[in-house]
Structure 1
Amino acid sequence: MDSGQEYRVAELAQAAEVPVRTVRYYQERGLLSPPVRRGRNAYYDDSHLERLTLIGDLLARGHSLEGIADLLASAEMGGGVSELLGFESAAAAAWSDGEIDIDLTELIDRFGDQVTPEIMTEAIALGHLRVEGDRLVYYSGRLLDTATALVAAGIPLRALLALSWELEAAFDRMAFAFVQEFRTHLVQPVLDRPSPAQLQHLSRTLAELRPVVRQVADEQLARAMDRRIRIDLPEMSQQLSHAADAVPASSPADHRRETSES
């Protein structure tokens, strides 16, 4: 036992924000070392609290208790659990610019009567909008501003949501392709020769590649837009030209009347 804080089992459970039965269950499974006993009393220390915090962190990241047991056993033999957590943090960090809280009044200010129950349901199904109690959470402030600008320009909100389904599928394919390349060329070499140093290097590499991947996506979209516009522009120009020809030319008197009225 070190000279730090000491805990009875109920105090440890409270500090770790878990039930007492969880502490005892982890002990039974060998995930938590036994306490020091003095007489009839059992005492835990900060190392037990750190272990409970680590287990909770790993569970939150999707690890099973069996997997956690293997990781902890590896750590006791010199494996890099902290490096693994660093890799997971680098890999799982959000790519979007961050969620924002928004209320129904602001949505209506932005989109007017286009905000209907059906639109709200579809936005939630897309994952753009989330209801948490009495508040709404939009998953990207930048995307919300983009939608606002497009609707203000004249594109209906319903059409934007339909477009979003198409984009979700396209970008899911792009993300899948990138992750497969990462797994093959970056993760697999670490699996072949695992070490804490390799995990640290992988974490740094993933963090450095984030802006690169976003730039690739941006440039690929730009190239696709250039190609699409070259295909569609002649037809659009011809249609606009015909529409302009169909507009009656205004007379000088009409022009003077419009000028005086303005």
Structure 2
Amino acid sequence: MTTAAMPRPEGDDTQRELTVDELAARVGVTVRNLRAYSARGLLPPPRMVGRTGYYGREHVARLILVREMLAEGYSLAMIERTLASAPPTASSATLALHRALLAPWLPPEPEVTTGQELAARAGVAENSAVVDQLVELGLIRRLDDGRLEVLDPALLTAGLQVVELGVPPEELIAAQAAVTEHVREIAQTYVQMFVDTAWRSFVAAGSPPEELERVQAMVARLQPVAAQALLAAFRTEMAAAVESAVETALSQFPEEESGSPPA
């Protein structure tokens, strides 16, 4: 028969497991806040012995990072998204690197709205089917209280401007779904380029700490540079597409008879 290991002796303070009160005291937060962070998924679950949870070094590292990000002005929602893909047992150094590499790419802070407010902003009648499409596309998330969380407000604003031009929401959503697939491929191309060059060289060199700042700077600059290159290519292709569409549209107009008197 096996028995659960109990917390280590007090002598090895950096290694021993902590109760929730000890963890809060170690990091300098209240137990109430610690429980709130856990409820949001910011901390991995503790090891349970009966009804008592025990926390290890990975919890200390994660909680310290949460506290630091809050001090830097991050909201809990932004921290939640930043840490969502981080390994639950990552060290403090790994979490710090994860934050540095991912933070520049996160979308703006989410907005909370309702279906009625969303329809009013679009100038259309409220339509739950349209909301379902937005949820499926990953642009909106339904909250437990019935409200809607807009995950990328900037993209929503751009979409509403297109609707104002007279494009039906259903047509725009279908077009955006196709565009998202293409953008996903483009993003993977740029990221793979970074992994195959700067990141691979950094790892091959043994991940020297003195090189970390340079890698972080490259990651931070990659987004605006890639966006600028993508926009330039898009303008060129958009101009060609518009020119072709205009020529096709004009060719459908009836030709005027030569020599006919002016109206």
Q: Sort the TM-score into its range (normalised by shorter chain).
A: 0.5 to 0.7
> Hey, what does 2:95 align to over in structure 1?
85
Indicate how the Cα distance of structure 1 residues 108 and 186 shifts in structure 2: closer, same or farther if over 3 A, else same: same
TM-score relative to the length of structure 2: 0.66
From 157, 174, 187, the equivalent of 1:175 is 187
54, 63, 73: which one pairs with 1:53? 63
In the alignment, is the contact (CA less than 8 A) between 1:99 and 1:137 conserved in 2?
A: yes
> How many residue pairs were aligned?
207
- Which residue of 132, 140, 148 maps to 1:136? 148
Mapping 1:103-252, distance limit 5 Å: 103-134=114-145, 135-193=147-205, 194-239=207-252, 241-242=253-254
Match of 2:111 in 1: 100
- Partner Cα distance (2:61, 2:158) in 1: 45
Alignment partners' CA distance in 1, 2:126 and 2:175: 17
In the aligned structure 1, how far is the partner of 2:142 from the partner of 2:187? 26
Any stretches of 5+ residues in structure 2 without a counterpart? 1-10, 12-17, 25-30, 36-44, 67-78, 258-262
Partner deviation per Cα, 1:193-216 (whole Å, 9 max, x = no partner):
111122222111111222111111
- Distance apart, 1:25 and its partner CA: 5.3
- Calculate percent identity across the aligned residue pairs: 18
| Backbone CA RMSD of aligned residues | 3.5
Measured in 1, the distance between the counterparts of 2:247 and 2:54 equals 71
CA deviation map 1:51-96 (0-9, x unaligned): 462598997543153xx3xx5xxxxxxxxx53x4343223212443
* Unaligned residue ranges in structure 1 (runs of 5+): 2-7, 33-48, 72-80, 246-250, 252-262
Asked whether the 8 Å contact 1:13–1:20 carries over to 2, the reply is no
Q: Give the match's secondary structure for 2:119.
A: helix
What residue identity is the alignment partner of 1:224? Answer: E
More helix by share: 1
Higher RCO (C-alpha 8 Å, min separation 6) = 1
> Is the partner of 1:188 in helix, strand or coil?
helix
Distance 1:243 1:50 in 2: 77
